[in-house]
Amino acid sequence: MIPVPGFEGRRVAVLGLGRSGLAALRALSAGGAEAVGWDDSPESRDRAQDAGMELRDLGARDGFEGVDRLIVSPGIPHLYPTPNRHVAAAMAAGVPVDNDIGLFFRSLGRGEWLRMDQPPRVVAVTGSNGKSTTAALIHHILTETGRPSQLAGNIGRGVLDIDPPQEGGVVVLELSSYQTELARALTPDIAVFTNLTPDHLDRHGGMGGYFAAKRRLFSEGGPDRAVIGVDEPEGRFLANQMAEAPEDDRLIRVSVEAKLSGPGWLVYARKGFLTEWRKGRQIASIDLRDIAGLPGAHNHQNACAAFAATRALGLSPRDIEAALNSFSGLPHRSQLVAEIDGVRFVNDSKATNADSAGKALQAFDRIRWIAGGLGKDGGIGSLAPYLGRVSKAYLIGHSARDFALALADVPHEVCGTMSEAVARAASEALPGDTVLLAPAAASFDQYPDFEKRGDDFVDRVRLLRG
């Protein structure tokens, strides 16, 4: 646990008693605060009480009397589309609002850290797609090369639940826009921006607000080094804002769409080869094509970002290359589940929007595509350039018929359920085909989250083996 100092004897309220909320309560109490929690769900309140947490009804008339700060869990809106009523009440009462990420960063650099010869470092990864794989890959590279590392934030453990990092250790954080938009302190040593595509637009009031939430990781205090994907206009703008001169190597530009040039620090992937340039000279080259855990151009982008971040931490290209080759990938992200009679079954349940599904479609040929769920604004029209790879689509969930209309002449079948889709795809697949779950939609019509959807796919595939 990371105890949170600075609130000794003061009352701090935590709204939302899921994983991060309970961790925040424990960390605040350990730091000497009078920590109280609230959740509108009776089940969540019961779990918190069973864990020994003190509750305070923030919806009561005097709910914020004597409260010095409100800590809000990531899923709770504070501005768009409308503020949560408790957050609105806190703001009306003048109570400052923060989240667990802000508490984490304000707690660093104190106590034991001041006496270390090599203080721990923090790498924070944000972006629309690939941030989980990039963060996990950085953690994997560090672990494989003998550097003590902890993975936390939106992946792994809650950020305040990790062990206090030791001398020379690294904390790798995956941060969503929900986490970066509200944190009052954001001071990583290295900040990584993978890419930006439309997502969560209702939560952020549009694309500009979404980008602004991501940009805060770089503007609120400023990292020592920034690794920025420059394949979208927003990434190029952010890179331009961070650099003081073309040769400023506090910035590492990353691309999988262009051969980068210039006097700065550059990492890009072309035709399956990762290349590093610095000060106009090539430093390293790595063949990514046969790394099973990193299929497709989107994973090559993740590899470039992880390579750049770990190079900024002082690791050698040779050590990074060896670690890349041992990376097995993450569940629900281009996860090879099985190969049965020459047919591959791949679980990319995390592809919850059209852009991430498009990246999955580009990674394979002869695809039996399982798609559908709770569709997002914009539908799947943007996937038209990749549909030539699809032999047939098997559509599930709420948006199955909308997807069917969008697919037009592409062979497709409305299956409704995962069970039916897997069975139909498996029965029609030929050796060399890939049965790919890349839904291009949220899961909440049929599953509580994308993990449960992916688990269902995996279970159905395993049943095929008998």
Per-residue pLDDT at 284: 96
For residue 112, is pLDDT > 80? no
* Tokens at 12, concatenated: 């701090």
Determine if residue 128 is labeled as part of a ligand binding site. Answer: yes
- Check whether 259 is labelled as a binding-site residue: no
pLDDT greater at residue 292 or residue 276:
276
Contact criterion met (CB below 8 Å) for 199 and 189: no
Residue 3 lies in a domain: no
206 domain-assigned:
yes
Residue 263's pLDDT is what?
A: 95
On whether 129 is known to bind a ligand per the annotation, the reply is yes
9 close to 32: Cβ distance less than 8 angstroms: yes
Q: Which of 163, 160, 162, 193 is nearest to 176 (CA)?
A: 193
Among 98, 115, 134, the domain boundary falls at 98
Reading the block at residue 30, the tokens are 């350990």
For residues 267 and 339, membership in a common domain is answered with: no
Portion of the chain with pLDDT greater than 70, in percent = 99
Question: Could you tell me if 239 and 366 lie in one domain?
Answer: no
Q: Give the rounded percent of residues in the chain with a pLDDT score beyond 90.
A: 83
Helix, strand or coil, per DSSP, at residue 216: helix
pLDDT above 90 for 30: yes
- Whether residue 134 sits in one domain with residue 277: yes
Q: Are residues 277 and 174 located together in one domain of the fold?
A: yes
What CA dihedral angle connects 299, 388, 335 and 300, to 10 degrees?
-10
- For the beta sheet containing 225-229, the strands, ordered from the edge strand earlier in sequence to the opposite edge, are 149-153, 170-174, 121-126, 190-193, 225-229, 251-255, 265-270, 273-278, 281-287
pLDDT of 359 reads 87
Same domain, 122 and 54: no
Q: Which one is predicted more confidently, 336 or 425?
A: 425
pLDDT, one tens digit per residue, over 162-202 is 998 888 899 999 999 999 999 999 999 999 999 998 888 88
Quick one: 92 and 128 in the same domain? Answer: no
Which three-class secondary structure string do you get for 275-341? Answer: EEEECCEEEEEEECCCCCCCCHHHHHHHHHHHHHHHHHCCCCHHHHHHHHHCCCCECCECEEEEEEC
373 neighbors 381 (Cβ within 8 angstroms): no
Predicted local confidence at residue 355, as pLDDT: 87
Question: Looking at the predicted structure, is the pLDDT value of residue 74 above 80?
Answer: yes
Is 94 annotated to bind ligand? no
CATH number at residue 314: 3.40.1190.10
- What is the pLDDT, as a whole number, of residue 230? 97
Mean pLDDT for 124-139 is 94
Are 83 and 203 members of one domain?
Answer: no
pLDDT digits (tens, 9 = 90+) for 194-206: 999 888 888 999 9
Please give the pLDDT value at position 111.
Answer: 62
Task: Please tell me whether residues 90 and 112 are part of one structural domain.
Answer: no
Is residue 6 assigned to a domain? no
pLDDT of the residue at 110: 67
Let me know whether 176 and 308 are in one domain: yes
Q: What is the pTM of this model?
A: 0.84
pLDDT at 240: 96
pLDDT at 334: 84
Instruction: Fill in the amino acid letter for 313.
Output: L
Q: Give residue 404's pLDDT.
A: 96
Domain count, the chain: 3
**115 lies in the same domain as 207:** yes
Domain-located, residue 2: no
Last residue of a domain, one of 82, 98, 114: 98
Positive or negative, the CA dihedral 97, 99, 101, 105 is positive
Q: Strand, coil or helix: what is 401?
A: helix
Q: What's the N-to-C CA distance of the chain in angstroms? A: 44
Residue 422: count other Cβ atoms within 10 Å of its Cβ. 26
d(CA 334, CA 329): 8
**CATH code, domain with 422:** 3.90.190.20
On whether 187 is known to bind a ligand per the annotation, the reply is no
- pLDDT higher than threshold 70 for residue 315: yes
Res. 155 pLDDT band, cuts 50 70 90: confident
Q: Is residue 27 in a domain?
A: yes
130 is known to lie in a ligand binding site: yes
Residue 394 has pLDDT above 80, yes or no: yes
Same-domain check for residues 173 and 152: yes
Q: Are residues 366 and 452 in the same domain?
A: yes
Which residue, 73, 98, 123, sits at the end of a domain? 98
Provide the mean pLDDT of the chain: 93
Q: Is position 417 annotated in a ligand binding site?
A: no
309 found inside a domain: yes
Q: What is the pLDDT of residues 331-390, one digit of tens each?
A: 888 888 999 999 999 999 999 999 889 989 998 999 999 999 999 888 999 999 999 999
Specify the DSSP class assigned to residue 55.
B
Per-residue pLDDT at 295: 83
CATH for 30: 3.40.50.720
Residue 330 lies in a domain: no
Please write the tens of the pLDDT for every residue from 51-60: 899 999 999 9
Q: Which domain holds residue 208?
A: 104-325
Residue 466 scores a pLDDT above 70: no
**Half-sphere exposure for 260 (CA within 13 Å, toward CB):** 29
pLDDT at 166: 85
In sign, the C-alpha dihedral spanning 308, 314, 319, 323 is negative
Decide if 36 is inside a domain.
yes
